[in-house]
Amino acid sequence: MALSATLHNFAIHLADVDRGVYQELELRVARHPSETAEFMLTRLLAYCLEYEEGITFSDGGVSATDEPAVLVRDLTGRLTAWIEVGAPDAERVHRGSKMAERVAIYTHRDPVKVLAQLTGKRIHRAEAIPLYSFDRGFIDAAVAAIERRNTVTISITERLLYLDLNGKDLSTPVAEHRVA
């Protein structure tokens, strides 16, 4: 018998001062049995840090081969942003860069290792693709605070992320690296 996804509910107060985005979000995030808690958290953070009209998690979740973890479509349905999570292979990033105006990668892994696997590979507009990473201790502490029902406050100012997750206060810089 196949294992089913675990649903997590997140009531999020988002205040992204850097971009002028202030939003109340109610998200139901399905965590696939093969998905780590670190990946799910990074997927959620990517969604919030990239939040704009038309953003959504991919329909296929982590098992989708033809979509990123998070994507943005305009009102016509055209793909405008391709947001990868984790350590995507160069072919996915290349394809995403050809399909969308903007591509970004968010990782909970060592950014040096993620960049190393992309270096020297054929990636369309690689110089325009940012890779964002979080402090490893921040990810570990946040994962430990995740429950099935979560109350979250996320504030971003000057690329510093402040997170209150179920009463646990955490912070991390959002480090930006370039793929090329």
Mean pLDDT across the stretch 98-105? 97
How far CA 72 is from CA of 46, 53, 56, 80, 100, in Å, comes to 12, 8, 6, 6, 9
What's the pLDDT score for residue 109?
A: 96
44-96 pLDDT tens trace? 999 999 999 999 999 865 656 689 999 999 999 999 999 999 999 999 999 99
3-state secondary structure of 113: helix
Q: 3-state class of 49 per DSSP?
A: helix
Report field, pTM of the whole predicted structure over 0.75: yes
- Mean pLDDT over 99-116 rounds to 97
State pLDDT tens for residues 112-145. Answer: 999 999 999 999 999 999 999 999 999 999 999 9
Q: Which helix (H) or strand (E) holds 58?
A: none
Q: What is the pLDDT of residue 5?
A: 86
HSE (CB half, 13 Å, CA atoms) of 23? 16
